[in-house]
A and B are shown apart, each in its own frame.
Chain A
Amino acid sequence: MNLSNQQTTEDVAAGIRKRVFLHTMRNNGGYLSQACSAAESLAFLYNEALTLGEPTLPKVPLPFGGVPSATNPDAFTGAGYHGPFAPEFDRLIISPAHYALVIYSALIQVGRMDEHALDHFNVDGGSVEMIGAEHSPGMEVTTGSLAQGLSMAAGIAWARKRKGEPGKVWVYMSDGEFQEGQTWECLAAMAYHGIDNVRVIVDVNRQQCDGAMSSVLDLGDLAARVASFGVTCRSIDGHDLGAMRAAADSAEPGKPLIILANTSPYQGMEFLKKRFPRLHYVRFKSADERREMQTAIAAELGVDEAEIARA
Chain B
Amino acid sequence: MVEIVNRPYAKAFETFATARPDILCLSADLTSSCEVDGFRDRHPDQFLSLGMAEQNMLSFAGGLAMQGFRPFLHTFSVFLYRRPYDQLINSIAYSNRKVRLMGFLPGITTPGGITHQAIEDISVMRAIPNMTILECGDATEVETVLEVADSIDGPVYVRVLRGEVPRLFSTPFEFNKLRTLSEGDDVLVVTSGVCTEEALRAAEPLKARGIGVHHLHVSTLKPFDREGLIKAARGKKGIVTLENHTINGGLGSLVAEILAEEGLGIKLRRLGLQDTFAHGASKPYLMKKYGLDASALVSAIGQLLGKDLDIGDAELEAVRIDTVHSAQKAEAL
| Interface core residue of B63, B64, B65 (most chain A CB under 10 Å) | B63
Within 8 A of A (CB), among B48-96: 48, 50-51, 53, 55-56, 58-69, 86-87, 89-91, 94-96
Cα distance, A159 to B63, chains bound together (Å): 8
* Closest residue on chain B to residue A97 by CB atoms: B90
Residues of A with C-beta under 8 A to B61: 155
A152 interface neighbour in B60, B130, B153, Cβ under 8 Å: B60
Contacts of B130 in A (CB 8 A): 68-70
Query: Does B154 belong to the interface (CB within 8 Å)?
Result: yes
Q: Write out the residue numbers on chain B whose beta carbons fall within 8 Å of the beta carbon of A267.
A: none
CB–CB A160/B94 < 8 A: no
B67 nearest CB neighbor, chain A only? A159
Instruction: Across the interface, name the chain A residue whose C-beta is closest to B132.
Output: A70
Residues of chain A within 8 A (CB-CB) of B51 are 185, 188-189, 192
Given A163-B67, A185-B55, check contact A155 B95 (CB 8 Å): no
- Contact call A157/B96, Cβ cutoff below 8 A: no
> Contact residue range for chain B?
20 to 34
Residues in A neighbouring B55, C-beta threshold 8 A: 151, 181-182, 185
Q: Closest A-chain residue to B89, C-beta based?
A: A145
Residues of B within 8 A of A159 (CB): 63-64, 66-69
Whether A182 contacts B63 by the Cβ 8 Å rule is: no
| Interface-centre pick from B48, B50, B55, B59 (highest chain A CB count, 10 A) | B59
Q: Nearest chain-A residue to B71 (Cβ)?
A: A155
Give bound CA distance, A143 to B130, whole Å. Answer: 18
| CB closest residue in chain A, given B52 | A185
The answer to whether B67 and A160 have CB atoms under 8 Å apart is yes
Given contact pairs A69-B96, A70-B154, A158-B64, A186 touches B56 in the complex (Cβ within 8 A): yes
B210 in contact (CB, < 8 A):
no
1/0 contact trace for A177-214 toward B, CB 8 Å?
00001100110110011000000000000000000000
Tell me, yes or no, whether A153 is within 8 Å of chain B by CB: yes
Chain A contact residues, majority secondary structure? helix
> In the complex, what residues of B have CB within 8 A of residue A143's CB?
90
Q: Is the CB of A151 within 8 A of B56?
A: yes
Judged by a CB distance under 8 angstroms, whether A134 is at the interface is: yes
Interface presence of B129 (CB below 8 A): yes
Whether A182 pairs with B90 at a CB distance below 8 angstroms is no
Bound: A15/B130 CA distance, A: 41
- A9 vs chain B, min Cβ distance (A): 29
Q: Which residues of A contact B66 (CB under 8 A)?
A: 140-141, 152, 155-156, 159
* B61 smallest CB distance to A (angstroms): 6
A67 close to chain B: CB less than 8 A: yes
Give the complex CA separation of A142 and B56 in angstroms.
15
- Whole-angstrom distance between the Cβ of B25 and the nearest chain A Cβ: 14
13 new A-B contacts, CB < 8 A, other than A68-B130, A159-B67, A188-B53, are A70-B152, A143-B90, A148-B90, A152-B60, A152-B63, A154-B63, A155-B60, A155-B65, A156-B64, A156-B67, A158-B63, A189-B51, A189-B60
- Name 17 interchain pairs, CB-CB below 8 A, sorted by A: A67-B129, A69-B129, A70-B96, A141-B95, A145-B86, A148-B87, A151-B63, A154-B56, A155-B64, A156-B64, A159-B66, A160-B67, A162-B69, A182-B56, A185-B55, A188-B53, A189-B51
User: Taking beta carbons and an 8 Å cutoff, which residues of A are in contact with B?
Assistant: 67-70, 134, 140-145, 148, 151-160, 162-163, 181-182, 185-186, 188-189, 192-193
